[in-house]
Amino acid sequence: MSGAISLRTAIVAGIACAAAGSAATWYLVHARLPDGHRTPAEADVRAYRYVSLDKIIVMLRGAEGEPVSHFLAVDLVFKTPQETERVTREQLPLLRSVVVSALSNYTLERVRQMTLEELAGVINAAFTQAYASDRAGKPFTEAMISKLIIE
């Protein structure tokens, strides 16, 4: 009889675990959806274009008394929705200026210590700040580094 009880207990415990797992999964899927919606959010299906901005040259600060100048050359690619591609192209001179301003205070040593992702983060943060101060929306979603030379 005790074997039957333990088998019955194991079956009930298994069913309870399965029910709890199903309930937890349902909650996690549906808790993230807006009220009244029962389908997952749609993926971003916008068409994107890629606009390039080449040969941005920035003079880097040197150590005091250092006789040699150092520079950074960077090419960028902007991921932009198709609807705002023209606006992004029209603003390339402004975007070049923002990059030069953001990177001109860096030293050669500091730039060499940064990863590509960190440098891209600095550039994207500068764009976000520039557009926020103008109270205008960025016409692109992201700036990516396509080439980097540090001399």
Instruction: Tell me: pLDDT of 139 over 80.
Output: yes
Report how many domains make up the chain.
Answer: 2
Q: Give the domain CATH number at 66.
A: 3.30.479.30
Instruction: Give the chain's mean pLDDT.
Output: 82
Residues sharing a CB contact under 8 Å with residue 11, sequence separation 6 or more, in sequence order: none
The encoded tokens of residue 70 equal 């150092």
**Judgement on whether residues 64 and 138 belong to the same structural domain of the protein:** yes
Rounded percentage of the chain residues whose pLDDT exceeds 90: 58
Give the per-residue pLDDT at 8. 65
Say if residue 127 is in the same domain as residue 143.
Answer: yes
> Which residue type, as a one-letter code, is found at position 94?
L
Tokens of 129: 């700040």
Cα distance between the two ends of the chain: 83
Q: Which tokens go with 122?
A: 């600095």
Q: What is the per-residue burial (b if ≥16 Cβ within 10 Å, else e) of 96-116?
A: bebbbebbeebebeebeeeee
Based on the fold, state whether residues 13 and 64 are members of the same structural domain.
Answer: no
In the block, residue with structure tokens 């050669």: 108
pLDDT band of residue 18 (cuts 50, 70, 90) is low
Same domain, 33 and 56: no
Q: Same structural domain for residues 123 and 146?
A: yes
**Domain with 1 in it:** 1-42
Note whether 2 and 17 are same-domain residues. yes
Q: What is the pLDDT of residues 38-82, one digit of tens each?
A: 555 566 678 999 999 999 999 998 777 676 789 999 999 999 999
- Same domain for 37 and 52? no
- 6 and 79 inside one domain: no
